[in-house]
Amino acid sequence: MPENTGVTGELFDGTSARRRHVSLGWDHAGLTIISDGIADEQVAWADLHLLDTLPDARSYGHAHRAGWRLRVPHDAPAELLAQLPHNSQMGGWIDRLGLGKSIVAFALASAAVVALVMTAPTWLGPLVPETWERHIGEAMLGDLAAFQCKTPTSDAALQSLSAQLDPRHPPVQIELVKVDMVNAVAIPGGRVLVFDKLVQDAKTPDELAGVLGHEIGHVRKRHVMQALLREFGLSILLSGANTQFGNSLGQISSMSYSRQAENEADGFSRDRLRAANISPQATADFFARLKKHDPIPHNVVMDYLASHPDTAQREQAFHAAVLTDHAYQASLNPAQFAAIKNACAQDKRAKQWDLF
């Protein structure tokens, strides 16, 4: 018999729902369950855990016996209650650390995670190998050749434009696609898609050069990878707060750039225009025209205008970059410009790409 006895408790043994009124004895080794004056069960302290504090009693479970429940009344001797395990209320870590400290620790950790997710894409993006980005681009967009307008002369003209603006190797791949929208996009894998409607709208080859310079800027500055990473990071972060996991990966396809990235791409474009001795005035005129047509951008996915800085400001910036009394040269000759303009009409193979 144990050293201390005299407390009564209730026991469910887990094999049936029968309630037994038992006496409890205890010593350093553990708890003894005494039923009808006979000690019939020894339980080591380590095998017991507190399940819950009920209004009338504390409920303990057994580490090795499912459904075994012992209820010890709140008015049991303090020595016994002190021996029994204490509550796990909020989860292991929090109980050990205390609520206040836990909240501070979690808040700091969360702030660090948020900061990482917000800033990591900017430095991580450029570190991702370009070949990986190409694979991602292929996985997301597949083969767009069917929509591409391609004639030998138009291809040569686009290549010439690209080479003037960006002499780096390998060159950024510029594809003219048959889409009925004034837009151009940089897509994962170092590719730029120019939509035919933009070409048809262009008054001079120089404004095409300005827009291409902007998109090449996105490619060279790794904005595409940055946007992908940001989108991915945010969706992971939001999946903690939101239970809808389903959409998170799908959102990758509808990415957008930060305003800072847009300004960088515009800056890149102006620098490259200057280096290639192409006047930025045509691009300023293009923005002036956009502003008149469409002061508020439509809510269209991948829209060139969406999330871009204010059109008037951009017009102003390109206009300010024009050097007075300077002899600029035309980026393309009229024949080259016409070749790009006529490419989609001539290439009968190209299919209309209905994005929406």
The residue ranges that bind other proteins (CB under 8 A) are 12-19, 51-52, 54-55, 59, 61, 66-69, 89-91, 94, 99, 102-103, 106-107, 110, 113-114, 139-144, 146-147, 237, 239-246, 248-250, 252-253, 351, 353, 355
Beta bridge partner(s), residue 177 = 148, 195
CB of 209 to other proteins, least distance (A): 28
Closest CA to 166 of 69, 266, 275: 275
The least distance separating other proteins from the CB of residue 251, rounded to whole angstroms, comes to 9
Minimum distance of other proteins from residue 353's CB (angstroms): 7
Which spans in 248-306 are helix H? 259-275, 281-293
Closest CB 249 distance from other proteins, rounded Å: 3
Min separation Cβ 202 and other proteins, Å: 25
CB of 84 closer than 8 Å to CB of 50: yes
**CB of residue 295 to other proteins, shortest distance in Å:** 24
Residues 160 and 155: their CA atoms lie apart, in Å, by 9
Closer CB to other proteins, residue 237 or residue 322?
237
Q: Using CB atoms within 10 A of its CB, is residue 168 exposed (0-12), middle (13-18) or buried (19+)? A: exposed
Which residue lies nearer to other proteins by CB, 80 or 113?
Answer: 113
Nearer to other proteins, 253 or 313 (CB): 253
Q: How far apart are CA 161 and CA 209, in angstroms?
A: 7
Cβ closer to other proteins: 101 or 203? Answer: 101
The neighbouring-strand residues paired with 48 are 62
Cα separations in angstroms, 193 against 186, 189, 197, 236, 272: 6, 11, 12, 29, 19
Measured from the CB atom, is 63 or 146 closer to other proteins? 146
Of the pair 163, 249, the CB lying nearest other proteins is at 249
Q: How far is the CB of 276 from other proteins (least distance, A)?
A: 33
Beta bridge partners of 69: 12, 61
Query: In the 8-state DSSP scheme, what is residue 62?
Result: E
Q: Which is nearer to other proteins, 147 or 318 (CB)?
A: 147
DSSP string, 68-134: EEEEEETTS-HHHHHHS-----S-HHHHHH-HHHHHHHHHHHHHHHHHHHHHHHHHHGGGS-HHHHH
